[in-house]
Structure 1
Amino acid sequence: MRKFIRARALLLALALVAPLALTACGGDDDEKATFVPAAATPTANAAPAEPLTVAVAPKSGAKDRPVSTEITARVEGGVALSDVVLKATGGGQVKGALRDDGSAWVPAKPLAYDTTYTATVTATAPDGRMATATSTFRTMGRPGNVIGSGLYLFDGNTYGVAMPVVVEFSPGIPEKDRAKVEKRMFVSTTPSQPGVWHWLPNGTQAYYRAPEYWKPGTTLDVRLALEGIPLSNGRYGNTDRTAKATIGSRLEMKVDNATKQMRVYEDGKLTRTFPVSLGKPKTPSSSGTMVIMEKKRETTFDTRTNPDPENRYVTDVEYAQRLTWGGEYIHAAPWSEGQQGNTNVSHGCVNLATRNAAWLYARTKIGDPITVEGTEVKLTHGNGWSAWNLSWEEFVKGSALPVD
């Protein structure tokens, strides 16, 4: 199931596609019921049919269940979970959907706190026999100790082909909890494209991307179904987040330090070549593949807190496009037009003439990729949305779940 209500295309916001085809949270609190359907009642000429045993979780009478609870059923004889009806006491039926592998039924929204629910579960054996079991349980009260989370994807926006789904956590997710969290971060794409999550080592961010850039026109549908997830550090997920966004036209920028030129490709065709000035030797630009994270028509660079006195300045800039958290941008730099194309004089940014920076700014989108080659330093993983600076083989190693 790559989509339930909004778990398709949050976490994002914070899919892996978040493998809906993976085993869900269960536990040992199962409600067991054994049924022999009427159709299987033995006759004088037939051997008695084996009864189906269905163990439902949460079990009847369970209390303090997380609002992220999924409904599961363990059955004997290869029986598959085929249907779940979940109702709140005094309320209506809860919408939801089965995971792709039928291992669990996931509510489309977090359950309500401190509320009683009744689940009616149907399981079907390979020979067509069916069994139904019912469980009534109660959710926990609202926790006071929660994580912070964010999704860098906004409903209705259009992004570049290299836009990863980026989820942020504060504090970071403990390593032992990442698989559990990853199972609840759903992404689906239209048209369908494979994808995987990748965690930064400190657990503060996770990226989702495909093996190649997204196809132009792709719809990303994201649900981060994190509210109520219990973590090993005593915290809980704070909220569910969703976003549905579109991938726009393909625009790529490539910068070569050897020639000090930027080449701009639109839909695979070279459309512009601009001279640039990159970071001077003491403040080199990063080599690697980055994506535009933020755009500001006008802004002020204020580095007066920099520990290096030579790198303290206050400068008004135009057409600024952020590439790294460390402060590397593409921007207009009329003061360096004489050096652009021949000498690096910036503090790490990609300097362009104002007319060229304005042309580029008018065409770019958040998520458009830029690759810089030949500078003195390599891009540090996590300094910006660095998902595409890794090979696919390197990227999948960062998943907390097995990748086929």
Structure 2
Amino acid sequence: MARFTRAGAVVGALTLAASLALTGCGDEQKKPEFVGGTSTDAGAVPDSAAPSTPGASSAPSGPALTLSPANDTKNKPVSTEISAKLPEGGKVSTVTLAAAGGGAVEGKLRTDGSAWVPSAPLKYGTRYTATVTATGADGTTSQGTSTFTTMAKPKSTIGSGLYLFDDKSYGVAMPVVTEFHPGIPKKDRAAVQKRMFVKTDPPQPGAWHWVDNGTQAYYRAPEYWQPGTTITVRIALAGVPLSNGKYGDIDRKATAKIGRSFVMKVDNATKKMSVYENGALSRTIPVSLGKKSTPSSSGTMVVMEKKESTVFDTRDDPDPANRYVTEIDFAQRLTWGGEYIHAAPWSEGVQGRSNVSHGCVNVSTANARWLFEKTRIGDPITIKGTERKIAAGNGWTAWSLSWSEFVKGSALPVPKGGSGPAL
């Protein structure tokens, strides 16, 4: 029976290893713009507000602006954003930020104009000068200037990970997966979520969902991603202060592609897997799922890892009946708890008729090879009709909830349908 142990999961995330450790079935485990977690969380940073010279067309004529950070502020986090108290009806027109003795810092305004976000973490122990120009409803301009100093590098940080890699192609159900160790306290999640930026091209709405005591957060759309989508992510946590005295460790970035649609659906009632390529049924495969004492999980999961050959070793299972060491071909991980799609020549005689596995999806060697050659990380599989449901966080379970349930896991309000392309 699959156990949700997740051994090695956080380590894999923190080192961004391209491969996750297997231990056994049923016992496992143009520059882009950015769109924030929701359109109401001020999480979007448009290209249109790149640094420019304030007052280029006319000198400021209105009252001086009050900036944040305030002038002569010290020990500011390197995640500091620039904001201004504006005259009624005014809006920021330009922002510049420069380090002492250095050039201008690149950055972008959030979509709602609430703050200007540097495109990379500021340097520790460095003095900066910010200049903001705003234009009022009557056309007059106002300007404010502030000089501040960032803090020294903190000694206590959280570890973080991003399960997305540059220039890789993923399946249509690949969520943006972030991990944190230790987990993010609940009262800090809104502030952290505001620093997690996602942009999709073509634009598609989306939302964040926190699971597993704050150690994971997923970003997905209401439906599977459109084939051909480009996903650009910045998890901008370097220097973000938390209530437990820790700070975010580093910024993580990735730009990846969504490939063709490849969807697997398994019905326990028929013991069959239906495979759809680009929406068309391409193959029906007999399966054997988990027996009643070790049932497979119902729900939507995604392929997390692929091993052409490996060894399942479950000798640490507390139930002697579930202990074994077996060589496995064409293994595709679905959960941290140890559920896989894999070749099971020993059960081919009952595949399509009865369930005998320890929780995995058993298929013939020929079908396992065919699937293995077709699938990508992030391809979805939906299993229905088994004795238990997939546990939240036991794998990349972003799609195991309906959209209405998924958005309840956001630390910030999510507009109906999800945050749109906020740039």
* Fold shared by both chains (TM-score > 0.5): yes
Matched, 1:89 2:100: yes
1:16 is matched with which residue?
37
C-alpha distance 39-355 of structure 1, shift in aligned 2 (>3 A): closer
Matched, 1:104 2:115: yes
The match for 2:261 among 225, 229, 250 is 250
Measured against aligned partners, the alpha-carbon deviations of 1:180-228 in whole angstroms (never above 9, x if no partner) come to 0000000000000011000015101000000110000000000000000
Matched, 1:180 2:206: no
Measured against aligned partners, the alpha-carbon deviations of 1:145-189 in whole angstroms (never above 9, x if no partner) come to 000100010011000001000000011100110000000000000
1:315 is matched with which residue?
326
Shift of 1:78: 2.2
Matched, 1:282 2:316: no
1-side partners of 2:164 and 2:44: how far apart?
27
2-side partners of 1:353 and 1:89: how far apart?
66
Shift of 1:8: 2.7
Shift of 1:76: 2.5
The match for 1:393 among 396, 404, 409 is 404
2:139 is matched with which residue?
128
Measured against aligned partners, the alpha-carbon deviations of 1:109-136 in whole angstroms (never above 9, x if no partner) come to 0000000111111111111110111111
Shift of 1:400: 0.5
Matched, 1:268 2:279: yes
Shift of 1:382: 1.1
1:75 is matched with which residue?
86
C-alpha distance 38-370 of structure 1, shift in aligned 2 (>3 A): closer
Larger-Rg structure: 1
Matched, 1:157 2:168: yes
Contact 1:6–1:242 (CA<8 Å) still a contact in 2? no
Measured against aligned partners, the alpha-carbon deviations of 1:82-120 in whole angstroms (never above 9, x if no partner) come to 211111111111111111111110000000000011111
For residue 149 of structure 2, what is the amino acid of its counterpart? R
**Structure 2: which 5+ runs fail to align?**
1-29, 46-57, 416-423
C-alpha distance 282-250 of structure 1, shift in aligned 2 (>3 A): same
For residue 271 of structure 2, what is the amino acid of its counterpart? K
Runs of 4+ in 1 over 4 A off after TM superposition: 4-7, 17-20, 37-40
The match for 1:368 among 379, 392, 404 is 379
Contact 2:59–2:141 (CA<8 Å) still a contact in 1? no
**Structure 1: which 5+ runs fail to align?**
10-14, 25-36, 41-50
For residue 37 of structure 2, what is the amino acid of its counterpart? L
C-alpha distance 73-246 of structure 1, shift in aligned 2 (>3 A): same
Q: CA RMSD in A?
A: 1.8
Identical counterparts, % of pairs: 64
Contact 1:17–1:188 (CA<8 Å) still a contact in 2? no
C-alpha distance 22-221 of structure 1, shift in aligned 2 (>3 A): closer
C-alpha distance 149-39 of structure 1, shift in aligned 2 (>3 A): closer
- Alignment of structure 1 residues 342-381 onto 2, 5 Å: 342-381=353-392
State the SS of the aligned residue for 1:93.
Answer: coil
Shift of 1:350: 0.2
2:213 is matched with which residue?
202
For residue 332 of structure 2, what is the amino acid of its counterpart? Q
C-alpha distance 38-310 of structure 1, shift in aligned 2 (>3 A): closer
1-side partners of 2:39 and 2:159: how far apart?
20
State the SS of the aligned residue for 2:184.
Answer: coil
For residue 42 of structure 2, what is the amino acid of its counterpart? A
Contact 2:96–2:130 (CA<8 Å) still a contact in 1? yes
Contact 1:20–1:186 (CA<8 Å) still a contact in 2? no
The match for 1:61 among 36, 50, 72 is 72
1-side partners of 2:181 and 2:229: how far apart?
30
2-side partners of 1:221 and 1:38: how far apart?
38
Shift of 1:5: 5.7
Shift of 1:393: 0.5
Shift of 1:17: 5.1
The match for 1:403 among 414, 417, 421 is 414
- Number of equivalent positions: 374
C-alpha distance 343-331 of structure 1, shift in aligned 2 (>3 A): same
2-side partners of 1:285 and 1:260: how far apart?
12
1:300 is matched with which residue?
311
State the SS of the aligned residue for 1:97.
Answer: strand
State the SS of the aligned residue for 1:63.
Answer: strand
Measured against aligned partners, the alpha-carbon deviations of 1:256-313 in whole angstroms (never above 9, x if no partner) come to 1111111100011000011111001110000111111111111111111111111111
1:231 is matched with which residue?
242
For residue 210 of structure 1, what is the amino acid of its counterpart? A
Measured against aligned partners, the alpha-carbon deviations of 1:14-40 in whole angstroms (never above 9, x if no partner) come to x4257663599xxxxxxxxxxxx9786
State the SS of the aligned residue for 2:301.
Answer: strand
State the SS of the aligned residue for 1:310.
Answer: helix
1-side partners of 2:59 and 2:294: how far apart?
79
Shift of 1:53: 4.5
Shift of 1:52: 2.8
